[in-house]
Amino acid sequence: MHDQPTADDGRSRRNSQTRSGHTRRTVLRYGAGVLTAGALAGCTGGSGEGADGTPTAADTTTSGSADGTTESGGATSTAEPYTVELAPVGEVAFEAVPETWVANNGSWADMGIALGLEPPAGVWLPSRYHTQYYDEIPGVSVDKSGIRQLWGDGGVGKEQFYELDADVHVLDPNFLLNRGEWSEADVEELRAIGPVFGNSIFSRNYAWHEDYRYYTLYEAFEKLAAVFQRTDRYEAFEAVHEEFQTALGPVVPGRSERPEAAVLWAGGDEPESFYPYVIDEGTSFKHLTDLGVRDALANSDVKDFYSSRGAIDFETILDIDPEVLLIRGQEAKTGGEFRDTVVAFMQEHAVASELTAVENGDVYRAGPLYQGPITNLVVTERLARTLYDADGELFDRERVGAIVNGDY
């Protein structure tokens, strides 16, 4: 496993030798794009929370060419400068197709894999980029040992971006300004290394995100495909997704027949403290909204974690007594490991054992915070089997693998 660097205070500067060392960028230079002060506005503050706002409690990657040359299957080729627009970063200009990149989380990292790219050189927290989902897809695997952890000590250090020297930084600058100790000048310095292109699509609960556009998973995916000039591959994935949505139609029962579920974050094997999540339209809930999951917390007195930063215990959960418990923070476990630890603990717990969901055996892993196109297919199908007893495969795994490998 690679070394996990400690983030600095966001204000360190590289040495004079590094400052003059943009040799690659003399050949591969990108426009900085438009980013207004208004788009970057917001209170800056540090936190001991995780990179996503939560509390901090196969060997070869399949890939294709990212050099702009035509691939088998008709991927877009370009030798001309181009621009891609995305809120809040505005119109970003590229003089050549990026080769190296970093991403803030597994949502964007998964999009890159779906486009046939090499994995990003770094993400906030590799532990929350759950590459085991690729085990479901023939011919697709990712070795995370080469992905650098960018988040540490409550924030993202700036110095490491000079070392990585990526061609594009797929991250939301407002996240850096509001979840760490970055300034607008720091963001501009980052963009001098390589353009910044991203949006915090996974959540719709940050106050600082209310002033600019939200994107659905596939809207964001299409934008990233344009950056890497792989729109044809995006369109192939979009077709798979549309077929998947059609397949879900007869699987999802009428609203009155769907159980009410509470989505809770809890780490460890014997959790007694939980962070509640109210289902919204962010991409981290896409599998739940696609399946029409009824939210047991939505009309309760429990405050959503994003607004309260507070935890609840089994007594509070018992007051609501949801039919189903969906537990986040447990995706590193297999289904069997989850049942043998978390579920077994609840069954023996004096209060938890009184919960309807525990009594009926309806406690499940909730799926990841970060979902890209591949991840979403896998975890949505998994939950459809769990909640609605869906049978068989609901999407074509061979087709997904073929698209990733450029055969479409």
pLDDT at 27 over 50: no
pLDDT higher than threshold 90 for residue 10: no
Cα-Cα end-to-end distance for the chain: 34
pLDDT at 134: 98
Write the pLDDT tens digit of every residue in 63-110.
333 333 334 334 444 469 999 999 999 999 999 999 999 999 999 999
**pLDDT score of 188 more than 50:** yes
Tokens representing residue 310 in the block: 């507070």
* Predicted confidence (pLDDT) per residue in 132-159, tens digit: 999 999 999 999 999 999 999 878 999 9
Q: Are 276 and 304 in contact (CB under 8 A)?
A: yes
pTM passes above 0.95 = no
CA dist 200 and 306 (Å) reads 14
- As a whole number of angstroms, the distance between CA 179 and CA 52 comes to 9
Strand, helix or coil at 19?
Answer: helix
Strands (E), 250-383: 260-265, 275-277, 294-295, 324-328, 363-365
Judge whether residue 19 has pLDDT over 90: no
Give the burial string for 231-258 (b: 16+ CB within 10 Å, else e): ebbbebbbebbeebeebbeebbeeeeeb
DSSP letter at 181 equals: S
Residue 374: half-sphere exposure toward Cβ, Cα within 13 Å? 33
Report residue 142: phi and psi, to 5°.
-135, 130
CA distance 391 to 362: 18
Task: Tally the residues of the chain.
Answer: 408
> What's the pLDDT at 155?
87
pLDDT in tens, 281-317: 999 999 999 999 999 999 899 988 877 778 999 999 9
Chain region(s) in the chain for CATH 3.40.50.1980: 16-242, 253-389
Q: Give residue 33's pLDDT.
A: 36
CATH 3.40.50.2300 for domain 253-389: no
Give pLDDT, residue 154: 78
Task: Read off the pLDDT band of 377 (50, 70, 90).
Answer: very high
CA dihedral 265, 269, 270, 271 (to 10 degrees): -10
Top-ranked range on mean pLDDT: pick from 54-58, 193-197, 206-210: 193-197
pLDDT in tens, 40-57: 333 333 333 455 555 443
Q: State which fold the 16-242 domain adopts.
A: Rossmann fold (3.40.50)
CB 61 within 8 A of CB 142: yes
Average pLDDT, whole number, for the chain? 84
pLDDT value for 205: 84
Q: What is the DSSP letter of 182?
A: -
Nearest residue to 206 via CA among 85, 322, 305: 305
pLDDT at 15 over 80: no
- Alpha helix ranges (H) inside 249-333: 286-290, 305-308, 314-320
pLDDT score for 30 = 34
Report the candidate in 166, 154, 104 with the shortest Cα–Cα distance to residue 129. Answer: 104
Average pLDDT over residues 257-279: 96
- How does DSSP classify residue 339? I
Amino acid at 99: E
Task: Please tell me the predicted confidence (pLDDT) of residue 52.
Answer: 52
Band (pLDDT 50/70/90 cuts) for residue 268 is very high
Q: What is the pLDDT of residues 327-344, one digit of tens each?
A: 999 999 999 999 999 999
Please give the pLDDT value at position 303: 87
